[in-house]
Amino acid sequence: MRHRDKEGPGHHFASPGDPSNLHHHHRHHGGLHRHGGRGRLFDYGELRLLLLAMIAERPRHGYEVIKAIEERFGGSYIPSPGVIYPTLAWLDDMGYAAIDAVESGRKLYRLTAEGEAFLVANRAAADELQSRLRPEGGGPAAAPAPIVRAVENLKLALRLRLKRGTIDQAAAESIAAALDAAAQTVERS
């Protein structure tokens, strides 16, 4: 039996501050988080609409949704499986998406007629959300994946070094010089 709430075709997803949007999914699941968990790019209602638009492009597994968002952001934004999978399950529960096939435990989500009607009713909002996935959507260009990986490696190396103990003055100056040299290389590129 499908759970239905007051959101349906013709109704817009409520904003995060709207009391009508404070059901259990919103309290427990944020949205798409910046890499490292700093800040949200989409609120939960927007994330539902974004995922619906993505499966309207073609049926997708949850992992494919995660990878598609990550790729569109060049690795600088990575959605959490703990947010994506419950959102896909909610879309299925609401009748906006259906599970077409299960291969090796992986569910393939496709758009339903009800989901298509909802997407048509919310096309402008869906287009705006999808524009956020492209650098030309108004924000700064996302760093290419190799750069994001290298920055994450640097942060990890610094955290591991700090766990080993205090950094003496000579080591601090050596690390700072290496970072300053890297910054100059980036500025010149």
pLDDT of res. 126: 87
CB contact set of 178 (below 8 Å; sequence gap of 6+): none
pLDDT in tens, 156-166: 888 888 889 99
- From 6, 1, 31, select the one nearest 16 (Cα to Cα): 31
Backbone angles phi, psi at 56, to 5 degrees: -70, -30
pLDDT of res. 141: 57
pLDDT of res. 187: 84
pLDDT of res. 159: 84
User: Residues 24, 30, 35, CA angle at the centre, nearest 5°?
Assistant: 160
Helices (H) and strands (E) in the chain, counts: 8, 5
* Residue 189 per-residue DSSP state: -
Please list, residue by residue across 30-40, b when 16 or more beta carbons sit within 10 angstroms of its beta carbon and e when fewer do.
bbbbeeeeeeb
pLDDT of res. 43: 76
DSSP characters for 159-188?
HHHHHT-PPPHHHHHHHHHHHHHHHHHHHH
* Residue 77 per-residue DSSP state: B
Residues in the chain predicted with pLDDT less than 50, given as ranges, are 1-38, 136-139
pLDDT in tens, 75-104: 777 888 999 999 999 999 999 999 987 767
Q: How far is CA 178 from CA 49, 133, 159, 160, 170, in A?
A: 44, 33, 16, 17, 12
Say if residues 41 and 138 touch (Cβ distance below 8 Å): no
Element (H, E) at 128: helix 123-131
